[in-house]
Amino acid sequence: MKRLGQRGIIKNVSASWLGLAVNVVTGLVVSPYILHKLGDEAFGLWVLVFAITGYYGLFDFGIRSSVIRYVARFRAVDNQEDLSSLVNTALFIYSCVGFLLLIITFIGSYFVGEIFRVRPQDVHTVRILFLMVGTSLSLGFPLAVFGGILEGLQKFYLLNLINIVNTILRTILVVVVLNRGYGLLMVALVTVVFPLINGAINGINALRLTRVQVRFRHVSRRMFKEVVNYGSATFIIAVASKLRFRTDAMIIGTFLSAAYVAYFAIGSRLLDYAGDLVSSLAQIFVPMSSAVHAKGDMQQLRKIFVAGNRACALIIFPISSIFLLLGKSVIEVWVGAKYIATSYPVLVVLLIPNTLLLAQAASGRILYGMAEHRKWAWIVLIEGAANVILSVFLVRQYGVLGDAFGTAIPMACTMIIFLPRYMCKLLDIRMLSYLMEAFTLPFVLCTPLLLTLIAMQRWFVPHTYFQLAVQLAIAGVVYGTGLLWALKSNRLWSVRELPARNKSEMVLPITKAYQPGEVAER
């Protein structure tokens, strides 16, 4: 933090928020445009193929997280030899993974049309689409090393600015292609080519900043063991995340049809945007909690835990309130009224567990900072498996809504039963004290917003972007006034001294300092 400087921190954070804003805006604008131009079936094929190939990310094996960590450490101690070994070893591993995925892609393209319920006339299209997307992702694996290098160098602003330009150009070209009458495959070609260009630009910048030469002789068996050992815990979490959030499209496509995937995606994508917003805030609590944990300051760690989740709740509570009361209007003006009947119930079912998840987003980051996330990873993995089993059972009985319940029930159980209890036990804090301190203020500030939205619904129901904007502006003023009062009265970030559950205060161990080349135990 000190080395980077305040200016650098502001630049990195600002670029991250700007990148998120561009992604959300382009997603909100382009998704309905693509949907209406391609139609339900083609759009469903689009979502289905990207959901399938999304599992390629599991082949990361946590290597990218290792690259980020070790680049930062080797750069800090000016160990150019180990830095060169790390980069070349990671490139070698990812090149092998990419080659393997190319083989899987070519084989899978012959069977993807038969595995899922695709219309006979769409089988050829879905095969080519799968081949295009899978090939792009396979080639993108070695290029991903360079993005990890830039993160390790804390060049977040550079990464985000390149992504912003890439996203804008890609969006413009997609619109042009659709306006000229081209179909799904041409849109997909534009979509998969730009990430490769992005990765190549990152590679030029990364190699220039590190002064590393790409040479096979720099590949090291010792470095291979280090990066794989460090990334093992991350891999478990990656598997769990895929089961939690990326199985729905495949289940719906298998047991219903590709058209139904679009209806589910509309409701769930709104929550994805909210999750991105909260996650951008929550990521700062990893280094913060790690530093405090290293000093053994339990009381300060408790305060970060409470204040961090309070901040996340201050963001997600009003968003969830808006989706609950204005969700039908949002879907209508975004993609059309015909999607309300199916997509809005999906949104409501997923809203509660996602609110519980995002209101506690700081908890997971603090577990990372304390190196106590392995148990959490196994719990999430169990939840993901329960999600798949329950969704497969319910989708046959209740369709798309059944799949939503299959996702919502295990997640709600994890967020209510396990996570808060585990965190309070780990930090030796009374649960009631934590709940009152973290969530009372967000709930109080959100109450006037809820009442205002209910009153405006009696006044008129928005059916256009302008009408929706008017209600959102009024709601924003009401909530903003409450936030301003909390800030002026010093209630927003203040956290009182929290008593320990036990009489004897638990003392945290001091984290040892590792020398370059050592393997950090997870």
Q: Quickly count: other Cβ atoms within 10 Å of residue 512's Cβ.
A: 10
Query: Which pair of structure tokens corresponds to residue 247?
Result: 């199985």
Assess contact for 49 and 132: CB atoms under 8 A: no
For residue 439, the model assigns a pLDDT of 93
pLDDT at 317: 94
In the chain, the number of structural domains is 2
Q: What is the pLDDT of residue 521?
A: 31
How much is the average pLDDT of 305-323?
Answer: 91
Q: What percent of the chain has pLDDT over 70?
A: 83
Task: Say whether both 28 and 147 belong to one domain.
Answer: yes
Kindly indicate the confidence band of residue 358, based on its pLDDT and cuts at 50, 70 and 90: very high
Taking residue 22's Cβ as centre, other Cβ atoms within 10 Å add up to 18
Same domain, 88 and 194: yes
Q: What is the pLDDT of residue 505?
A: 45
Check whether residue 218 and residue 366 sit in a common domain: no
State the pTM of this model.
Answer: 0.67
Cβ contact 280:20 at 8 Å: yes
Among the residue ranges 10-14, 133-137, 320-324, 433-437, the one predicted with the least confidence is 10-14
Angle (CA) 476 477 479, round 5°: 65
Residue 217 and residue 281 in one domain: no
Q: Is residue 383 part of a domain?
A: yes
What's the average model confidence in pLDDT over 274-301?
A: 73
- Residue 5's contacts (CB-CB under 8 Å, 6 or more residues apart) are none
pLDDT (tens digit per residue) in 70-80: 776 677 667 88
**CA dist 281 → 28, 47, 438 (Å):** 21, 27, 16
Do 136 and 182 lie in one domain? The reply is yes
What pLDDT does 144 receive? 86
Domain boundary among 246, 264, 291: 246
Spatial separation of the C-alpha atoms in residues 271 and 279, rounded to whole Å:
12
325 CB-side CA count, 13 A: 21
CB-CB contact of 22 with 164 (8 Å): yes
State mean pLDDT over 182-192. 79
The per-residue pLDDT for range 204-257, each reduced to its tens digit, is: 988 888 888 888 888 888 888 877 876 777 778 777 777 777 778 778 878 887
Task: For residue 383, give the amino acid letter.
Answer: E
| 236 and 176 in a common domain | yes
pLDDT score of 148 more than 90: no
Q: Contacts by 492-497 with C-beta closer than 8 Å and gap 24+? A: 492/314, 492/441, 493/307, 495/302, 495/303, 495/306, 495/307, 495/310, 495/437, 496/437, 497/299
Residues 221 and 254 both lie in one domain? no
In this structure, is residue 29 part of a structural domain? yes
Question: Per-residue confidence at 506, pLDDT binned at 50, 70, 90?
Answer: very low
DSSP 227-275: HHHHHHHHHHHHHHHHHHHSSHHHHHHHHS-HHHHHHHHHHHHHHHHHH
pLDDT at 117: 64
For residue 150, give its domain range: 18-246
